[in-house]
Amino acid sequence: MIQERAELTRNKIIHGAAQAFAEYGFASTSLMEIVQLSGTTKGALYFHFGSKERLAEEIQERADEVWTGMENLASCRCDGRAAVQALIDFTHMFARNLARNTVFRAGFRLDGEHSTPRERWIHLLRLLLAETGSASDGMEAILVAFVSGVEALSRRRPGRIGARAITAVWETLLPVLTTTPSAYLPAGRPHPHPDDPLGCAGRPAASRPGRAG
């Protein structure tokens, strides 16, 4: 029982800090703001984390777990068709996590204060686009601008870019990216499995990328 209460307090502190970091950033967030948002005490914060820096590290670690799940989309080498659906799924997952997952959004902002987190998703987009067999500078520029817009708008107002808007973009892009746009789900797969998001288990990897059919 005591352990359960301690874990509950720890999670309340993490989510309270995530709210503050996501909105104000690390430097502009005070310990008192974290205490107020979490509904705990400064003593509890120091007991569980010791410092604001350690709390930020915990949030970044949890956000990184979400990133790893999304990056698994690029680990399944099946064929160009799977890669196109993976691109769609990734953009939906990215927007959804920025809108609904405060810890992910806070971790994304904290990473951005020390590095360039967009390099991570740009790398993922390039991997998937190359796998479609339809990679081009123009298509890469469109997708980078698309995801950058989702990121920027979500930072100002989480949830502003919803699933309907993401779907509408893909309904426009699919006829350019593939010869059979009706073969895909522009609204994304509802529940891609984190270890096999494209249903590729047991399927051989394509010998080389080909234009999605």
pLDDT tens track for 116-173: 667 778 888 888 888 888 778 898 999 989 888 888 777 777 767 788 999 999 999 9
pTM, to two decimals: 0.79
DSSP for 103-169 reads: HHHHHHHHHHTTS-THHHHHHHHHHHHHHHT---HHHHHHHHHHHHHHHHHHHHSTTSS-HHHHHHH
Terminal-to-terminal C-alpha distance of the chain: 56
Q: Above 50 in pLDDT, residue 209? A: no
